[in-house]
Amino acid sequence: MLPNSRTSSIFTVCVALTGASGMPYALRLIECLISAGARVYVLTSQAAQVVIRQELPDLAIPAKTDQLAEWLIQQYHGKSDQVKVFGREEWFSPVASGSNPADAMVVCPCSMGTLAAIAHGMSDNLIERAADVMLKEQRPLIIVPREMPFSVIHLENMLTLAKQRVVIMPPSPGFYHHPTTIEEMVDFVVARILDHLSVPHEIIQRWGER
Binding-site members for dimethylallyl phosphate are 176, 192
CA dihedral 169, 172, 176, 181 (to 10 degrees): 120
- Binding-site residue numbers for FMN are 19-21, 45, 111-114, 146
Q: How many CB atoms lie within 10 A of CB 205?
A: 14
Q: Residues 117, 119, 123, CA angle at the centre, nearest 5°?
A: 40
For the sheet containing 83-86, what is the strand order? 83-86, 39-44, 12-17, 104-110, 141-145, 167-168
Nearest of 84, 82, 75 to residue 42 by alpha carbon: 84
The runs of H, that is alpha helices, within 137-181 are 152-162
- Binding-site residue numbers are 19-21, 45, 111-114, 146, 176, 192
The CA–CA distances, whole Å, from 23 to 10, 99, 124, 156 equal: 25, 30, 23, 25
